[in-house]
Structures are given as C-alpha cells and as structure tokens.
Structure 1
Amino acid sequence: MAKSNKDCLSYRDTLDTSVRLRYDNKLKLIDGNDPYELKNWSDNVDILPGITYMDIVNYLLFTPSAYTADDLKSYKGLDAYNQFVCGWVRERTAIGFEEQVLVTAKVLHSQRLREKPLRPWVISHKDGVVKGTHCTCMAGLGEACTHIAALLFSIEATVRIRNSATVTERPAYWMLPAAIKNVPYSQLTDINFTSAKGLKRKLDDNIDQIYDTPQASTSAVCSKLLPPSPHELDTLFKELHSTGTKPVLLATIEPYSNWYIPKPITSSFPQMLTDLKDDSCMNMEYTKLLELCVNIKVQTSPEQAKEVEIATRTQSQSKLVSIQGRKDNGIKCQVGMQHQCFESS
C-alpha cells in the first residue's frame, strides 16, 4: 500500500513557517543537516561535548529566546535531572562536526510514559557552550523543555565520568542510571522510593569520589574507617549541646534528652484528656461505660487553669501546639477544650 502524503513529509516539513525558519537557522550550525534525517550516529562517548552544569544553567536561564528576545529563564528545566536519574533518557548518540557536536536521545514523556518517546537534540560547541536545541514535544518549539534539559544532564554526567580517572584507569560508566523503555507495574517491595534529589546527590557523590580517589593500591582504596571511640562521641555530643540549638541527634542521648521534653509535660498543666483512655473499655457495655464515665473526675486547680489560659492566648502562633500536637491532634484541641470548661465553670 502506498504511503500517504503526510507519511512522506519530513519532520521539518510539518513545522509552521515561522518555526521552520528558526529550525533552519539552527541547522546552519551543522551544515544544514536535519538531525532527524541523519543516519551515521555513534554512541562513542568521546564525541560528546564538554558540557558542564554551568553550561546548562547559562543555557536554560540566560539564553535569549528567539521569539521574545528575553532570557529563557527555564527554572523548571533545572529540575529535569529527575528524568535523567530515573532512567528516562536512553539511546543517546552523537555526531561530530568541525566545531560543533550534535547529540540526540530518546526521552520518555513527562506524563504519558507509554507513548512513543520524544526525540530532543542538542547542538553544542565542543567546549560545552550550547548553541541550539530542539524537541518533538510541543514545549520543545520553545527550545527549553524538560526533555532537552534531561538530555543535557545526561551529557554532563557522562562527560564528568569520561574525564575522570579511576583506580583501574577506566571510566566508570556503570554509575549512570540504567535506561528504561517503560515503567512497568511492580510490587511495593520492588520499588525504589528514593527521591530524585537523593538519586542525583548519590550519583554526584559517586562521580566526585572518582576525582578524589588517589591512584594507590586497591587495598588502600578499600580500607575501612574505624568507628569513633566513646571519648570522641562524648566530645561530639558536648560540642553539639554547647551550640545552644537542639540537634535531633541529642534527643535520644542522655542526659541531653532532658532538654527535649515538651513544655506541656513539664509545666503545671492539668491532666490531659488523652490520659483517660483505657483500652479495656473498647468492648464494654454501654450502660457500664456510662457508669464508669460518671465516676471520672478531672480536678483542675486555679494555678493549672491559669497556666492553660496563658499557653492558649495565641494558639495559632504557639509552638506548644506543634509540640504536644503529636500526641493526639494537637494541644489546640486538648488544652483548648479544657480551657473552655474552665471558663464556663
């Protein structure tokens, strides 16, 4: 069956006139070649341009838009590393020209993961300065979509590994996120819930360790650090306590944990209503439960009532609300109800 006219059109021919003009201007950087028509792609990482994080920032934020002449200011693009670290960038290839390098890849959609992947491409000078970009998504016409940014982050991480030297003097490309074609359904036990920021931080730390690793024997590199001595730990805890703040670490270490006891517990507050809870009453008959409640007496002295009144004058701003709130929906409910009782009596 013969192909329709639409199927015979190239990607460039499907663009609007104004967009096509801008598209052609970018292609002049690579001798007028259309990336979607080229065949001689290579996955050799040595071809990749030396793009750094600052090159990505400069392009996404400060490159003048071809349509408005204003800076792109694509702050959202700086968060596109989450697509890269999650493996949404795959089949990255490149072609080298005289001064420029053309890099392309397949990137999954941001919301529709099972649709055909998008095809962003980047034209960069060999030293890393980004000259032009494009993507087959709608936002790609603006040249600053998250798919383009994800490709840039993929290039940046690969170049860092390429330019580093490991103990074996071989680039550790195994550190890069494994590419995925789709996101299958999985059991909770098989899902990695680490945030994108955490994955990016771990990747950066692993790559940085390559730079910091001395060219020594394997035994020296793999040596383990000794655990701190009790004296060293005690010195650390004392120095943390002397800062005047409340590091959460000390909340579980005596005697420093005494400083973390919430004020409502240490002050002369009346008995909290939650203290009356008795699990044995869960299956008690209604009449017996009423009899038990009648015999419960909550005694509150004038001094305790005054403490509650002072503590609840500014409930919405009081830190006591958040401190005691962990116990049962907040002191705003517990102490506030008691305060109303005091006022009515």
Structure 2
Amino acid sequence: MAYNYFDKLDSVAQGRYSTKLVLINSDECPYKFPAGVWKNNPSCWPDLQFGDVYSNLIDSPGIFTRASMKSYKSLDAHNYFQSGWVQTVYSYKPATSAYTILKADVRPSQRLNEEPHHPWVALSGDGSVAVAHCNCMAGLAESCSHIAALLFKVEAAVRLGYTTKLCTELPCKWNADFVKKLYINKAKKVKVRHLSSTQQEQQTLLQTLHACNSKPVVLSTFDNFSDKFHWQKTVSSDPIVPQCLRSLYKAEYADFTKIDLSRKCSEINDSYSMNKETIMYIYDVTQKQSSSLTWHEQRIGRITSSVVYSVLHTDFNNPAPSLLKTLCNPSSKSLDHVPAIHWGFLISKETPFIGASADSVASCSCHGNRVIEVKCPFSHKESTLQEYVKDPSSCIVANGREVKTTHKYYYQIQLHMYVHDVNLCDLVIYTSKVTAIFYILRNDVFIKDMITKLKDFHIRHVMTELLTRQLENKIKQVPLRNDKLYCYCRSKDDGKENMIGCDNPQCKTQWYHLKCLKMKRIPKGQWLCKDCKNIPVTSS
C-alpha cells in the first residue's frame, strides 16, 4: 500500500479519513505502520460476532441493506471470503489506542494480476466495529464489499474457535492464503449437435408453462405472455446521507465581495432542504453508536442544542472565533467514555441548519411524546436539592420548583422541543443524594425569537465560514510549536477540555483551558489573554 495514501486524497476525503483516525485515537495512518508491528496471530483478535458485522454494515452508509443481509451468503463480500480472495489477516494494537486494527489484502475476483485492495477495520475490546476503511472507490463511505469480506473472515474464525489459545497453539495455517496457483488443462473439443425445434413444439412448451400455478419468468420475454408480468409495488431503498456541510467550501468564494458573499449565503440557506425520510435515516443510524462518523459529520456546520446558549450570547457583529471553530470544524472529541450516550442526532425539517441530540424520548397516554434531559452537576454531586438551589449558577429558582428561563439549560431544552416537535420536557437533576424531576412546557414565543436569531447568525457567520474557511485558514497560517503545549498548565490538547483561543495572532500560547482560567463559558466578542491585553493586536 502506498505510504503517502493520505496525501493523495482530496481535502474532503482527507477530512473524513482524519475523523476516522480521531475516533480511534490513532496518531498515525494504519497504512504508515511499520511492517514489523503487524502480527499473524488470531488469538490477538477481538471476539467479533455476526451481530457486530450486521450492525456495522447496516448502520454505515453503503450498499448493504436489511433485505440484502437476510441472504448475506449470496453477497459478493461473502463470496470473496468463501472463494479465498481474502489473504492473511494481520493485527496490531497501537499503544495510544484502545482499539485493535486488523488488515488484509483482498484480491480482485476477475483480475488476479491487478493490485489487491487494502481494507482495514478497528475493533473495540468487545468486538464492536468502531471504524473501517478501504482504498477502493467506495472505501471512504465506511462500507464496501472488501471491508465486509474481511469482517466475514474474522467472524468465521471467532465462531469456529480459531482465535482461542487451544487452537492457536498449532501453526497458524487457517489464516494463511488458501488460494493456491492452479494449473488448468484445456478440455478436448467436443462436437455438439444442435437440434432445432419446430414452431408448434415451441408453442406447446410455452402453453404448458403458462398453465402452471406459478409464473415462470421466462414467459416475460415472449410477446403473448409478457402482459402478466409487472411490478406490484416499487422497492424502496435506504436514503442517501447528504454530504457534510464542509463540502460547500469553494476557494473562489474567498474572492467574493461582502455583499455578493452575503447574497450567496442567503441563497444556499433558503434552497437547502432535507426530506423526512433522510432525516429519520440519519437519526436511526446515529442513535446506535455515539462514535459514528455520520454523527460527527452531520453536526458540522449546524447549530446544536449544546451551543445554542453560547451563540445567542455572543456578539453577533463580532462573534468569538473559538465558537465558530466549534461549529464549523470536525470535532476531535470522542464520546466513548460516556456509557449513557445512545441517542441519535435529529435535524429540524423546517430549519435544516439546526439539530439536537436529546438524552431520551418518552411517550405516555396523558402527555403524549416528550423529551428527557438528564443533568448531573459535578460540583454538586454530593449536594441535596436545597444546597444546589442556593448556588447562583444553579438552573433552579430559589423556590425550588421552576427552572430559570435565563439559564443555558432552558435554551437547550426549548431547542430540543422545537426539533423533536413536542410540548413537554422532563428535566432530571441527579446527585448522589437526590433525584429531582422538573416538567418544562414548550414556550412558542421564546422559540420563535430564538430561531429567528439563530437563522440570522447562521447566515451571517456560520455559512460564511463554511463557504470560505477564512477563520480556519487564518489559524493554519499561525505556526504551532513543535511540542504542541498549550495554556498556562503547559499540557497537550487531549480533546477532553473546553478551550478558548486568544484573538491576538502573535500570541505565543494561543489556546487556554476554560478550567485553568476559571471561566464557565466563552465570552462575547474578542478575548485576549493576560499577556496580550497590553499589547496592540495586529492583523495577520
């Protein structure tokens, strides 16, 4: 496999590939791993089950559907495995990752002299598939026949017991290439005599077939019998997941005037739409795996419930660059450390640039559908409700019965109800000493004003950044130090701490942890660190 595979990809493909590496916490492309680190030892493989293979192939955008998986043994991928086109499987577990990476060469079935394909998959300890990739045309979409063939071979090894220590004490013969070079002798020419049938014999045969209770498909090719063959209903296929909003970028937009760029942003915002089937398909795909590539990609460029408060409380004329970076750039944060995350990402049909991920959705005969939001205040994990209410940062008013309409939780909950189109939310406040439930009703006046402001902010700033990437390119022009240490604590960015960037391009540190600054949220407008406050800011 080419060492510089990543460098040959276009910018959109590089973004998707980089997101896969971030999800498995890998600092290096698997195609760049040294040959000496790969092991031919099935006992090192995680216990991949058929359910894991099924979930990955169905939930990932690609050619596999629920209908096709019912007869998976007839798929090209399974035939690749049975025919021996999947070569030796090698495994490697990087020191920085909790995932085991498996790779194998898959030879083309019809063109044996061509270069084989090189799929790889990352499996967690319990056997679930985190991400997968192949260098074929369809490999960037996480699902192709070569990836599936590799998964089928590993699943068969686990099912047949070849990954246990008892079996692996023997020489690893099963994992070897079991397609050997065949020497084929040509058969002798055989003289075949073809007897032609008469017109009467043909009609007799067709009439006999027509009299059968079933409908032989061969009759559909004859004029006198084809009228009985027609589609009773159309076969629906899974919707196609739309491209990430970062794909709207074009370098030529950077040369537009401010008026032309504003007009272009409005045109795209007004014309962009998604049908209900696509929205629900994205919701179904993302609710089963919080680390899904689709979950991360579809959030890029959309205002979500987790940032709505920050958006509405920043300076609309000069928003914080760190806020735009959060909205428009791929997230480097993994959610695997939060075991309760199983929700899907739901996009608003009326406003497709807004989305939300509720903790849960419930329904009852008296209140109908409603969303559930669970909050576990870490600073009050040992507090009672009365102690929590006394904190000025608490979301509960002093009487302990209502939620503050000025609190960020209230903004988040109202956006949840707007996206899910419900009228009620159960807010659960949980500590080790109390579990309190507050019922919050939908506030249509509040929502209308909020959505109007969010639309204006998205067109003026988010869409502008998506089209031009001015802020992203500006940040890239500032060289980072080789050790990549940030903040006053001089630590690396592990993706788990919220950070704010100093708006002075010449700042030596650039990024600071909110926790180290003792700040709870990103301030409005420009922000300068204490070292740069007394230094004039020059534009880069």
TM range (shorter): 0.3 to 0.5
The structure where helix makes up a greater share of residues is 1
- So what's the TM-score if we normalise by structure 1? 0.46
Q: Tell me the TM-score normalised to structure 2 length.
A: 0.31
Q: Which structure: larger Rg?
A: 1
